Each structure stands twice: as C-alpha cells, then as structure tokens.
C-alpha cells in the first residue's frame, strides 16, 4: 500500500473512531435529555394546577370544578401548531386529582374517577411528602406506550389534602427525539465527509511533494536531471537537500573519471602541437619559422589554459546545491552583454540587438553573475556560428509562472547528428575558422538553469538559424 493511502486510512480511522464515540454519547443522551426536560415541565405544570385544584377540593366540587371545566373546554378546542417541523394538534396531558386517601376525584380522560390510586408511586410518594413520579406502560406488550407522570401535593396550610398528577405519553416526545437523532447522524456523516476530503487533500499534497522528489531522484541518472524541488514542508526540504547532496557526491565520483578521460583527450592535441613545434625550434630554423611556431606554442598554451579554467569553473558550479537570488533587470543585463561583445560582432559584421518590445521593468529572480555568464555563453555560440551579415537578437517572453530569455540568430543552425549531444561536456561543433571550443559552455548553461529550477532548450528556427530558450521560473 502506498504511503499516501496509509496516511489517509490512518487519519480516517482516527476521525471515524472519535466521531463514533462522540455520536454514540450524543445519541445516548438525546432520549434521557428530552425526557428530563419534559419531566421538569410536568412538575411545573402539576404544581401550578394543584393551586387551582385546591379551591375545587375545598368547595367539595372537584369532579365538576374550575379545573374539570377547563379541561372539558380544552378537549373541545382544536388547534394546530408547527413546532420546528413537528405538527401538534391536540392536548397530550393526562391529569387526575386524588384525595388524601388516593381515591381519584377527577380524571381528564374520564376513565379513572373513583378508582384507588394510592399505590401508584406518584400518588403514594407525594402523600408521604416525597417527590412523586412514575412511568407506566399503557400496553404491557408495548414498551414504547409508557406515560410519564409527575405529581404535586394539594395543600391546605401544612396538610396534604390531595394529589394532582400530570402525565404525558413518551410517544409524544418521539418525533423530537427522532429528529434530534437524525440531525446528529447527518452532522456525523457530514463530519466524516469533510474529514475525508481534508485527509484526501492532505494526502494529495504529500504525494505531490514526494512525487517531485521521486522524479528528481529518477532523473539523476539521466543526461538532463531535473532542477532541485523546494517542498513546503521542512522535513521534505531536508530530504530534498539530502538527495541533492547524494547526487553531487555520486556525480562527483563518476565525474572525476569522466573529467580525467575527457581532459586527457582534449589535452592530447595541444600538447602534440607544442611538442612538434618545440622539436622544430631545436633544429634552429630561420627567424620566420621560429616566429610562426612560437606563436603556435603560445596559442596552444592559451587553449590549454582556457580549457583548465573552464573545467574548474564547471566543476565548481556542479558542486553547488543552492544559489542566492536577487532581482535582475533583464534589459539592463542585455545592454551590458551587448556592449561587451559589440567589438567582436562589428568585426564579424553581425548585427547584435535587443528586442524593442521588451518592457523596461521586466525582471527575474536569480544569481546575477551566473545568469550573465550563461547568457554570455549563448551569445558567444551565436557569434561563432552566424556568418557575416547575419543578425542576433535578445528577447524575452513572459507567461504566468515563467520568464523565457531567447537568443536568436540567423546562422547555420544545429545539425541533426548533434541534436542529442549539445549539452555533453567537451562536445563541440567546428567553427567557421576551423577551431573547436572547450565544449563546456552549454554544459555550464545547463547547470545554471538547473540551479535556477529552469530549463535550457536549443532548437532550429523555421526561418533559418538557431534559437536558445533559457526558461526561468517567474511571477
């Protein structure tokens, strides 16, 4: 099972168990809570009606007094009330009045008058000065048919002369209980659904961050490794740094061997040229020959020096993990690069220009020195492969989330056989003057793009020439 699914399952189980405990407690408390509230209402009603019943008992007219007449009129009165979606259309109270011996003097239903209720808990406890209440089923075979009774004493001074008991069927409270339980269950389902959505979003976030690290780790062994991701989590960020450190160490071990083989191969040619020139000079040739081969020695020495310097610069760049970024104004950077290469471009009769449509305030976040050097390498390549009378243009494309720096030329373009090897270290195409470069310029640009979490693309233009696209993350 994937780690994301494990996290989701564990999170959902915790929420589900917690919700089950909470819901079970709520559901268990709904019915007792409603009945406790009803019991409180019944004792208040019984105490109030006992005061009205007192006058009827003292007048000796309990069976047809004010209380009996009030209930007679109440039973004839039709009403309809909508209480939060629950319809009430009749009086549900059952009231009876007993004397001091427990004999029923008045019954609102008219069925118990004259019966002895002295042994019912509500009457017996109230006559003995205690709180009297009972819950009795109307049908012995139906436990849901219970009626809750609460009694209050009818007093004359300090003497209890009777008991008034008020009852209400528990079934009358069932709609309230069921509605409350239903709402609690729906709330629980909604809670679980929201928790599941939150957990799913959390897992997607974790999987996305881990997926970036996995794709980055998989790309380490390819020719074009992905830029180092920057997860939002501090733990994943440390993991990313550990993977990058591992990549640098692994590439360092393999790179040493590659660098040694490549450097040996690249140095063979200038060393052979220097050795041949030195052997000729030992024979004491004419001054013109001495001057020619001395210049050749200096040229080959300069070539070796540039090769070593470029190699050291590339190795130093590849060992870097992070860069310190700053805001770089691209039009100002382009102007600096064009000014530094104006003499070379003019000597080769090449028009070097900046696109006039570039906004003056366009900028990117990056290392100024590295970007200047990498764009300079792209310009140098364009100058080497653009014939006299050609043109090189620096431009910018902006989209949401990225900024693309373009170096376009009207040169010879990229041969098909070289398309997949342009960014290899020490791979170089022959220039118009027959010389080869160090083959490290484009490899340097690729490393700069990686450090900036961007990409570098070299492609042929449909109208002729080549175009380099340095894509950097932007606002």
CA 4 to CA 107: how far, in whole Å? 69
pLDDT in tens, 79-138: 665 666 555 656 778 899 999 999 989 988 888 888 999 999 999 999 999 999 988 887
Average pLDDT over residues 274-294: 80
pLDDT, residue 151, reads: 93
In the predicted structure, residue 391 carries a pLDDT above the cut 90: yes
The token pair at 76 is 């004839």
Highest mean pLDDT among 205-219, 221-235, 340-354, 431-445: 340-354
Q: Quick check: pTM over 0.75? A: no
CA 358 to CA 396: how far, in whole Å? 6
pLDDT, residue 307, reads: 63
Average pLDDT over residues 235-262: 64
| Dihedral sign of CA atoms 364, 367, 373, 377 in order | negative
Residue 163's pLDDT band (boundaries 50, 70, 90)?
A: very high
Of the listed ranges 128-142, 290-304, 325-339, the one predicted with least confidence: 290-304
Average pLDDT over residues 156-162: 87
In the predicted structure, residue 439 carries a pLDDT above the cut 70: no
pLDDT, residue 19, reads: 72
pLDDT, residue 5, reads: 67
Of the listed ranges 224-228, 282-286, 340-344, 401-405, the one predicted with least confidence: 224-228
400: which residues sit within 8 A by CB, 6+ positions away? none
pLDDT, residue 291, reads: 81
Backbone angles phi, psi at 155, to 5 degrees: -110, 145
Of the listed ranges 154-163, 318-327, 397-406, 419-428, the one predicted with least confidence: 318-327
pLDDT, residue 359, reads: 81
Between 468 and 274, where is the model more confident? 468
pLDDT, residue 419, reads: 81
Of the listed ranges 117-131, 190-204, 215-229, the one predicted with least confidence: 215-229
- Per the listing, tokens 């205690």 go with 130
Beta strands (DSSP E) in 29-145 are 81-83, 86-88, 94-99, 104-107, 133-137
DSSP sequence for 274-305: HHHHHHHHHT---HHHHHHHHHHHHHHHHHHH
In the predicted structure, residue 368 carries a pLDDT above the cut 70: yes
**Average pLDDT over the chain, rounded to whole?**
79
CA 247 to CA 254: how far, in whole Å? 11
CA 425 to CA 376: how far, in whole Å? 18
230: which residues sit within 8 A by CB, 6+ positions away? 237, 240, 453
Q: Are strands 159-169 and 146-156 parallel, antiparallel or unpaired?
A: antiparallel
Choose among 260, 246, 247: nearest CA to 221.
247
pLDDT, residue 198, reads: 78
pLDDT, residue 78, reads: 67
Residue 13's pLDDT band (boundaries 50, 70, 90)?
A: confident
Of the listed ranges 152-166, 168-182, 314-328, 351-365, the one predicted with least confidence: 314-328
CA 280 to CA 300: how far, in whole Å? 16
In the predicted structure, residue 342 carries a pLDDT above the cut 80: yes
Residue 77's pLDDT band (boundaries 50, 70, 90)?
A: low
Between 331 and 3, where is the model more confident? 331
Average pLDDT over residues 19-29: 69
Of the listed ranges 51-55, 99-103, 417-421, the one predicted with least confidence: 417-421
Average pLDDT over residues 135-164: 85
CA 454 to CA 447: how far, in whole Å? 10
Average pLDDT over residues 227-231: 68
pLDDT, residue 238, reads: 77
């Amino acid at each position: 099972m994937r780690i994301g699914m494990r996290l989701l399952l564990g999170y959902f189980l915790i929420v589900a168990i917690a919700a089950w405990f909470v819901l079970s407690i709520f559901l268990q408390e709904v019915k007792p809570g409603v009945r406790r509230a009803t019991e409180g209402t019944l004792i208040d009603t019984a105490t109030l009606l006992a005061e009205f019943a007192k006058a009827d008992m003292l007048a000796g007219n309990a069976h047809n007094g004010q209380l009996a007449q009030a209930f007679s009129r109440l039973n004839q009165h039709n009403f309809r009330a909508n209480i939060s979606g629950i319809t009430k259309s009749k009086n549900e109270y059952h009231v009876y009045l007993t004397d001091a011996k427990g004999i029923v003097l008045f019954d609102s239903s008219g069925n118990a008058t004259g019966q002895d209720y002295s042994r019912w808990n509500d009457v017996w406890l109230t006559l003995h000065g205690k709180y009297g209440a009972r819950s009795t089923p109307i049908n012995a075979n139906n436990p849901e048919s219970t009626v809750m009774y609460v009694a209050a004493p009818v007093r004359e001074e300090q003497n209890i002369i009777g008991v008034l008991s008020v009852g209400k069927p528990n079934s009358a409270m069932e709609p309230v209980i069921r509605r409350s339980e239903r709402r609690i269950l729906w709330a629980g389902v909604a809670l679980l659904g929201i928790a599941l959505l939150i957990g799913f979003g959390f897992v997607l976030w974790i999987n996305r961050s881990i997926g970036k690290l996995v794709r980055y780790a998989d790309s380490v062994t390819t020719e074009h490794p992905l830029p180092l991701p920057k997860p939002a989590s501090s733990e994943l960020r440390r993991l990313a740094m550990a993977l990058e450190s591992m990549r640098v160490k692994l590439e360092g071990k393999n790179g040493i061997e590659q660098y040694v083989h490549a450097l040996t191969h690249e140095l063979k040619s200038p060393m052979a040229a220097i050795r041949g020139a030195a052997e000729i000079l030992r024979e004491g040739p004419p001054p013109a020959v001495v001057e020619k081969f001395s210049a050749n020695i200096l040229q080959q020495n300069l070539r070796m020096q540039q090769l070593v310097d470029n190699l050291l610069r590339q190795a130093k760049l590849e060992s870097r993990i992070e860069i310190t970024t700053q805001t770089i104004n691209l039009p100002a950077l382009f102007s600096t690069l064009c000014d530094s290469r104006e003499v070379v471009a003019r000597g080769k009769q090449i028009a070097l220009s900046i696109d006039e449509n570039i906004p003056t305030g366009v900028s990117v976040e990056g290392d100024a020195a590295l970007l200047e050097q990498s764009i300079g390498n792209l310009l140098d390549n364009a100058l080497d492969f653009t014939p006299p009378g050609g043109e090189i243009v620096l431009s910018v494309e902006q989209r949401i989330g990225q900024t693309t720096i373009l170096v376009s030329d009207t040169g010879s373009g990229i041969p098909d056989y070289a398309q997949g090897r342009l960014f290899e270290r020490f791979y170089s195409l022959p220039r118009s003057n027959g010389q080869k470069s160090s083959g490290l310029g484009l490899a340097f640009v690729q490393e700069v793009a990686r450090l900036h979490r961007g990409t570098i693309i070299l492609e042929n233009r449909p109208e002729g020439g080549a175009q380099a696209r340095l894509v950097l993350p932007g606002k």
